[in-house]
Amino acid sequence: MDDTQTMHAMGIDDAYHVEQVLARGPRGVTELVTIDGVGPFVRKKIPTVLAQRGVWSALGGSTCPRLPRVEATYELPDCVAVVLDYIPGPTLEQVVAERGWLQQNEAVSLAQQICEAVQELHRLGILHRDLTPANIIVADDGTHIIDLGIARPLTDTANRNRDTTALGTYGFASPEQYGFAPTDVRSDIFSLGRILGFMLTGVYPDDTRYTPLLSDDLHVTPRLRAIVERATAFEPSARYQNVAQFAQALTSPTDPVDSYVPAYAVQRPVANGKPRPRTVIAVAVACVAVIAIVAAAVLIPRWIADGSDGGAANGTSQHAGSRPDPSTDDDGDAADPGADPSVRDPAGDGAAHGNAEYGNPLELVETGWSADESGYVHYAFGLRNTSDSLCVRSPSIEITGRGEDGTVLFSATQVLMFSFPGETTYFGAQAGNGNGIIPATVDFTVLEPEDYNYETSSESASFKSANLHAASDGYGGEIFSGEISVAKDSARVREQSSQLNVSLVLRDDAGAIIYGFDTYVDWPPEGGSRPFSMDVFDPPAYDSFEVYAQPW
């Protein structure tokens, strides 16, 4: 800013009369102001280094009545000032404190109004990141979202592995807001679910009464409880993938609890209209978990206690690695006698070359992925430990999406818990930024373990799946369900993992991986099984699916 601009901005600033300081902290000051007897307005002064100018610029172009209207913005030498219209009325926090839990029809109505505002924010490319009852005004004309102090542009996710700073309000902020992954629209959906739970129970999510009240059928219907639980799933891929899905579930006459137990399996038609037979493969494997989320479970256990746009949209972009050909080596020559084709890397994604003492026994067997129109990548890979005596702890796979020109669109590292000797593990999940840019390529690379990641051990655990089903969810998606039981138990492994990861892998008619998805269940009881279900929104056309389970 030059001197003239500075003087002009200071003149505007002085024209406002501060009626009351509403809040003050390291992220700025919020004031109630008037100008020439007109107002009041809300003025936020945000330190220049923290100001997200793109957020306020985008918000200024919105006509949504449930969002604050930007009256003016100007820059001072050390801060950015934003003047907003003032919405009179109590906060949702105050309403619930005064009245207690809300009637379910009122809670649903208010939640729908909040969804209108959040959906508009996402349309504008804004992620709120601090949706709480204290930031929602219940005015005469309905709810209004306020305080976009830590909002950021959705396009700001490029090249992020995770958000760099823990932000948000405890109990309503998503797990990824504590540094374990980048935030996206599903982070706001987590907060929406917690707000709905708050309205239905009348207590905060970290209150010991929250879970019992939410679980009480006389207090909260199973349908609404299922909506809250899905929206607040710890893993983002298990939540509603956009606000429209969440809003639709609020008014859907279908009970989502019932929909998780499909009565029939569907056959996906091929292009000529003839049904394609569905091949269902139950696979037993063991050994994958995400260390970052295990760390999260230790750091924020109350989340665990309380508890896409998935799928390739109309085949927008699909890429898959192929299965290994046992008849040839990578160079096209005949395979060596006795060679195990399952340890080859047909896609050329390549394991690292290992360290001097151990070498790297980890190899990618196969990889595959597809992308939806939002730019999210749904991937799966098979990782084999070729050693017969070394267990690898915290094996890591680097997943990188690139544009046509080779530009890195996203990069993420998937850290697993174990890779047991002589075993192959399959894992499926989601990556990418959801910014609408579909990568041209996605590369998978095995990162070289450190010496301390190796352990001489033959200990392992494996699982089997049964009663697998696939059925339409009635909204363009499919529900995959079944049961997981223990094939080989290990008390030592149980001590080090609290749950199981259940991964879904979809394949095309050539047998190549085209999609991955996952969910989490508790360890099955001894001699018993543990049911699971995954609601996959708009999956790509597939020929067969497989389900894998491994310690978490």
**Weakest-pLDDT range from 40-44, 315-319, 392-396, 410-414:** 315-319
Q: Residue 486 contacts by C-beta under 8 Å, 6 or more apart in sequence? A: 461, 462, 463, 464, 523, 524, 526
Three-class SS of residue 429? strand
Strands 544-551 and 279-282: parallel
> Quick check: 166 pLDDT over 70?
no
Q: Are 178 and 302 in contact (CB under 8 A)?
A: no
Comparing 38-52, 184-198, 232-246, 256-270, which segment has the lowest mean pLDDT? 256-270
- Structure tokens of 238? 């298990």
Q: What is the pLDDT of residue 127?
A: 87
Q: How high is the pLDDT of residue 494?
A: 82
Of 27-31, 223-227, 325-329, 480-484, the range with the lowest mean pLDDT is 325-329
Say what the pLDDT of residue 344 is.
29
Q: Is 273 left (phi over 0), alpha (psi -120 to 50) or beta?
A: left
Beta carbons of 531 and 482 less than 8 angstroms apart: yes
Q: Are 177 and 169 in contact (CB under 8 A)?
A: no
Q: Given the DSSP bridges, would you call strands 441-446 and 454-456 parallel, antiparallel or unpaired?
A: unpaired
At 444-475, the pLDDT tens digits run: 999 988 887 888 887 888 899 999 999 987 76
- 340 — pLDDT class (breaks 50, 70, 90): very low
| Cα 236 from Cα 432, distance rounded (Å) | 12
Q: Who wins on pLDDT, 433 or 355? A: 433
Domains of the chain: 3-85 (3.30.200.20), 92-259 (1.10.510.10), 279-326+343-551 (2.60.40.3230)
| Higher pLDDT, residue 236 or 315 | 236
pTM: 0.48
Residue 299 reports pLDDT greater than 60: no
- The three-class DSSP label of residue 494 is helix
Residue 524 makes CB contacts below 8 A (sequence gap 6+) with: 463, 484, 485, 486, 500, 530
What average pLDDT is seen over the chain?
Answer: 76
How much is the average pLDDT of 333-346? 32
Q: What is the pLDDT of residue 2?
A: 63
- Would you say residue 519 has pLDDT above 70? yes
Backbone angles phi, psi at 94, to 5 degrees: -70, -40
Label residue 545 by pLDDT band (50, 70, 90).
very high
Above 90 in pLDDT, residue 110?
A: yes
pLDDT of residue 394: 83
Range in 261-265, 331-335, 342-346 the model is least confident about: 261-265
Q: How far apart are CA 71 and CA 81, in angstroms?
A: 11
- Under the banding of pLDDT at 50, 70 and 90, the label for residue 206 is confident
Residue 543 has pLDDT above 50, yes or no: yes
Burial readout 473-498 (b: 16 or more C-beta within 10 A, e: otherwise):
beeebbbbbbbbbbeeebeebeeebb
- Report the percentage of the chain scoring pLDDT > 70: 76
Which residue type, as a one-letter code, is found at position 4? T
